[in-house]
Chains A and B, each alone.
Chain A
């Protein structure tokens, strides 16, 4: 779907999403530094670093949230993404990703939208709070 403009308060999504062990291992396979990723793929290694479970690499979420926006509207061009983690992100849990348009700035005839994004689990606990700025191409 390609929407050409948004109004304040418009909702993007929600979508259901799950980051599996395979998603994590595919992501890690294209990173250059694999040693620092053991805690994401090995439960044993995660425990040695005091993690109770295998978690999702933090930098993978930028890609997930960017994909979320672009998959909802493939005309979106992301200019900024700001994410704050409120909990450790476990693998293989159901996630609900939703965006809300919170601001619109117009400069030189270019509309820049601001969008708050939340990632929640199935207990409605907010795991990530994000804010993105994007334009529509």
Chain B
């Protein structure tokens, strides 16, 4: 299947942030960690859950790739590598690039997958997390 989209966007890095890791943000994050809060007391606030990077994903700077296919876009999957610790007071920056655009055919017909690759670093350049997100676009 020939996929029409802006191929010039492939591999280009887009920066987002800074995202500030504040005590208030950690407290709110722990409040929404529903399962854990049912079972145990909240952790000491100095421990920052590394999965907090995922909160910033929807606000990343990503270009419109002008994909000419389908009308329903949704989340298909995610891979996250937690690489080092985050502390309160850190400010994170994210670098995102369009990694891949490809098609698959399933029972419901053709689907186009769009993959983004994002690295989060601290203010000192320490890589804390790599997140690969995959979205799928279909025709309904």
Where the two chains meet, the residues of A that have a C-beta atom closer than 8 Å to any C-beta of B are 15, 17, 23, 26-27, 29-33, 36-37, 49-51, 55, 57-59, 61-64, 66-68, 70-71, 74, 78-85, 88
Contact = CB atoms under 8 A, between A and B. Distances in A.
A26 B31 contact: yes
A63 B82 CA distance: 13
A114 to B, nearest CB: 14
A62 B82 contact: no
Contacts, number: 100
A contacts with B: majority SS: mixed
A83 B78 contact: yes
Interface of B: 19, 25, 28-29, 31-36, 38-40, 49-51, 54-59, 71-82, 133, 140
A18 B28 CA distance: 20
Nearest to B35: A67
Contacts of B35: 15, 17, 64, 67-68, 71
